[in-house]
Amino acid sequence: MNKKKMDIIYEDKELLVINKPEKLLTIGTNNNKINTLYHEAREYIKKKNQKIFIVNRLDRDTSGIVVFAKNEKLKHAIQNNWNDITKRYYYAVVEGKVKKSDTLINYLKESKGLEIYVSKDKNGKLAILEYKVVLSNNDYSLLDIEIKSGRRNQIRCQLDYINHPIIGDKKYNSTKNPLGRLGLHAYKLLLTNPITNKEYIFESKVPKQFFDIFNQ
């Protein structure tokens, strides 16, 4: 289990928002139910005699903002309206020099091996993301990304498709791993509570190493 103290971004009587470290599962698998963010959050909440329900997930190797609801009604309300009540932002360090900011609009499909890939078939799931180039050199670029759709691996898959895979992402054809981790971090989430209409802005500090790589 991750021995570091859980990094709580925000907590009230309805929500618990945590900064998930990289290389930690959000929720358990058949092979690993203990070493997960959900397990740590549940143990923390149990001491308060409260319950917890996971709202969103991040890939194991992605760091950043994960939201838990403290009641099931709120969990379902947020999940059922997720794309309408949230704005989600990521920083990504990618291979190569990205020349200009752009919007990517693609249809995604899943192979029998559960790999997500871009397809020209419009029967796929529509995925949209906007990115701005923050920093770049001949080797790497730092992108500020807003995702407009909720699709698994959509950032990783689409950046690979334009020949700028995220560093450390072997699954999507990256050959460089200068940070020893996946270069993807969920740094900001704007959320409107669909029951109370209360608006939240959650932010997580971008890992310093994402910037340091451009100063070497």
Q: Cα 142–143–147 angle (5° rounding)?
A: 155
Bridge-partner residues for 81, per DSSP?
none
Are residues 209 and 185 in contact, defined by beta-carbon separation less than 8 angstroms? no
pTM above 0.85, yes or no: yes
3 located within any domain? no
**Which residues does the annotation mark as catalytic?**
59
Judge whether residue 3 has pLDDT over 60.
no
1 located within any domain? no
Mean pLDDT of 155-160: 95
164 located within any domain? yes
The CATH number linked to 114 is 3.30.2350.10
pLDDT band, residue 32 (cuts 50/70/90) = low
CA dihedral 10, 7, 206, 193 (to 10 degrees): -20
Q: d(Cα 74, Cα 67) in Å, to the nearest integer?
A: 11
Please state the domain count of the chain: 1
Token pair, residue 103, equals: 């919007």
| Rounded percentage of the chain residues whose pLDDT exceeds 70 | 96
Burial of 112 (0-12, 13-18, 19+ CB in 10 A): exposed
pLDDT band, residue 30 (cuts 50/70/90) = low
- What pLDDT does residue 2 have? 42
Domain containing residue 81 = 8-212
**What residues contact 39, with CB distance under 8 A and at least 6 apart?**
1, 28, 33
29 located within any domain? yes
Asked which of 33-37, 102-106, 175-179, 185-189 is least confident by mean pLDDT, the reply is: 33-37
Burial of 111 (0-12, 13-18, 19+ CB in 10 A): exposed
Find, among 37, 50, 47, the residue nearest to 5 by Cα: 37
